[in-house]
Amino acid sequence: MITSFNKDLVQVVYNSNEFKGWLLSRRWFGDKSALSNLEFTVKINYFELITERILLSIIEVKTPDYSKAYFLPLIYYEKIEEILEPTERTRSNIIKLTENTFSKKLVMTVENNQEIITLNLLEAEFCLFFWRKMLFDSKISEEFPSMDMELTLYSKQFEDEINMRKVQNLIEAGLYPERYELTLNQLGKGNTTNTLFLLNVLNKRNPDQPAISYVLKSYKDYSVSIEPSKLFVLVKNKFPNAPKIYGTIKVRDKETIGIIESVPNIGNLGDIYWNELNSMISRTFRDVNNEYSKFSDKSQVSKLINDNCIETLKISADIGNFIRNLHESLILSEEQQYSVESVDSKIYLNNYTNLLNSMISELLGYMTHQPESAFSNLPKISSILIDIKDIIERFRVEFKETNINIQPVHQDLHMEQILYNKSDSQYDFYFIDFEGDPQLGLDEKKGKFPVEKDLASFLRALSYIKFNNLLKFIEENITRKDKYEVPEEILYNLYFRRAARPLSKVLDIIKNVLNAWESKLMGKILKNLNLSYVLITYFYIERALHELKYEILFRPNKIIVPILGLKEIVEKN
């Protein structure tokens, strides 16, 4: 039946309101708020029908003043079991795939007869069928050039036997697919902008040998990706703390799929920071009516943190050096794009000041268009943004250094981008996701920044963890069940309204403990890095402004967290 489909028919389907609504439900589909009225068109810029089931397409989402392209491979099925291998036919997996399927009734003419069919389309990356055909079917890959596609597997860049063997394993699986067994698991629980999967490849002839695992990354945003080239540079510089890239699939000379090393890990750093802090606060302050005056003593607070945040303190003492090594390994002096440059500080900071001021003006504009009763419209909120403008200007004027060094950096270095492993009480870290700051356009992502940008991004995570911990404590211990009370409002009153402050004194104590926790960790992270406080603050403010814009658009009840981060900047300066 699928052979009756062509690009024109699929184009009609893609422009139906049902399909547009399905697109809006995808995690990777951007600008949901602006496009929620469905007043956009979907244009197919690239279309290939592969092995009679895979609809490989590049779509362009357009309005009169907006355009964005996406890589969209879909699989057609009548019964879902027909596209699944035995290992995929579990009840939970079938339910998940069915729930994520787009379905539409179509009237089609087949052999001069009109038939009503149900068109079921599923994101192809969720099925082994797709990966087996794209990576390990030599008949299909041989036709790639005629489809303006390219599959490249890299082996020459690796000098060590382990990584060479991993690439050769992929090549052999493509030559002799019947010898290999594949299994597939989604990574990131579906909360990633690009879809990520763990592919396990087991050689049936050596069943006693463990399977070799790879991370398959589908770059949904169809544009030039900066991640593969950054990973190449890290390989050339023999940086051990980032995954290697083993291959790519390009469509019209743009990376759409990356085949990346699966690094050993227990989880991401945010888990350790969050879990230890929550455990400390919930255990120490079980009874909100108790008397906790001993924590007015700084030494008692320090002891509390030292006794309860052992792993967090250890990591914080180490991670700064790992980040420094990352920055050193992103430099390749013979390539202009990866070299270090020295720029005039006055020009650079003047441009960045203008950028931040325009962001603030945009945010103030958003706020004034909110209903008068909206939390973001409160005068004390807008006054913080005005104060931030003054601080930015003072920093710009008082900056003493003549030049600023800029270089390639990670750009989006929050805690979930750092995986950790542990062996014999020693930690090892892996930096992932080198696609650049998602707030920036492609030209800006290719640009260079002071290394302080990454440190500021990392430190913002501490602020988010701190205030979300306080919100969690308020919700579980302070809000009264017999009244409609919102934790965010209580947190606002704690910081902004003295007359309406919560009666429980424990919140003031916890607030001081959390501030000491954050300050102690910041000191350990930044120790011996010799960085500019002014530049860290610039990028810290930028990050908080981006977070504030996101919360206003998508989670208005959460704007209190970035607002309090900005408030602390005002109070410190």
Binned at pLDDT 50, 70 and 90, residue 4 comes out as low
**Within a domain: 515:** no
* Same-domain check for residues 178 and 61: no
Looking at the fold, whether 107 and 212 belong to one and the same domain comes out as no
- Would you state the pLDDT for residue 111? 67
Residue 376 pLDDT class (50, 70, 90 cuts)? low
| Residue 451 maps to a domain | no
pLDDT digits (tens, 9 = 90+) for 225-266: 889 889 989 988 999 999 998 889 999 999 999 999 999 899
Q: What is the pTM of this model?
A: 0.86
User: What average pLDDT score do residues 11-26 get?
Assistant: 94
440 lies in some domain: no
Average pLDDT taken over every residue of the chain: 89
- The confidence score (pLDDT) of residue 371 equals 62
Residues 132 and 102 in one domain: no
Q: Which of 261, 284, 313 is the last residue of a domain?
A: 261
Residue 113 sits in the same domain as residue 33 = yes
Specify the pLDDT at position 74. Answer: 96
Residue 373 has pLDDT above 70, yes or no: no
The closest alpha carbon to 353, from 399, 314, 408, 309, belongs to: 399
| Last-in-domain residue among 209, 228, 261 | 261
238 is a domain residue:
yes
pLDDT band of 154, cuts 50, 70, 90:
confident
Least confident of 13-27, 63-77, 111-125, 287-301: 111-125
96 and 137 housed in the same domain: no
Question: Based on the domain organization, do 29 and 142 belong to the same domain?
Answer: no
Query: Do the domain assignments include residue 273?
Result: no
More confident residue, 160 or 448: 448
- Mean pLDDT of the region 142-154: 92
The verdict on 112 and 140 lying in the same domain is no
Helices (H) and strands (E) in the chain, counts: 19, 16
Are 108 and 224 in a shared domain? no
**Residue 23 Cα distances to 35, 180, 516, 546, angstroms:** 10, 34, 45, 24
Handedness of CA 18, 22, 24, 29 (dihedral sign): negative
Q: Give residue-wise pLDDT tens across range 502-557.
A: 667 899 999 999 999 999 999 999 998 999 999 999 999 999 999 988 887 767 77
- Percentage of the chain with pLDDT > 70? 94
Confidence band of 370 (pLDDT split at 50, 70, 90): low
Give 241 or 437, the one with higher predicted confidence: 241
Domain identity same for 119 and 54: yes
- Evaluate if residue 573 carries a pLDDT over 90: no
In a domain, 297, yes or no: no
Sign for the pseudo-dihedral over CA of 533, 535, 541, 544: negative
Lowest-pLDDT range of 20-24, 124-128, 311-315, 487-491: 487-491
Q: How far is CA 36 from CA 13, 20, 31, 222, 439, in A?
A: 18, 9, 8, 21, 20
Q: Is the pLDDT of residue 21 over 70?
A: yes
Q: Confirm whether 70 is domain-assigned.
A: yes
Answer with the one of 82, 106, 124 that is the final residue of a domain.
124
pLDDT digits (tens, 9 = 90+) for 48-58: 999 889 999 99
Phi, psi values for residue 372, rounded to 5°: -60, -30
| pLDDT computed for residue 501 by the predictor | 67
Does some domain include residue 78? yes
Total number of domains constituting the chain: 2
Q: What was the pLDDT predicted at 109?
A: 66
Say whether both 162 and 86 belong to one domain. Answer: no
Strands 245-251 and 149-153: antiparallel
Same structural domain, 132 and 257: yes
Does residue 3 surpass a pLDDT of 60? Answer: no
d(C-alpha 182, C-alpha 205), whole Å = 14
Structural domain of 165: 128-261
Task: Clarify whether residues 51 and 105 are in a common domain.
Answer: yes
Closest CA to 452 of 315, 323, 312: 323
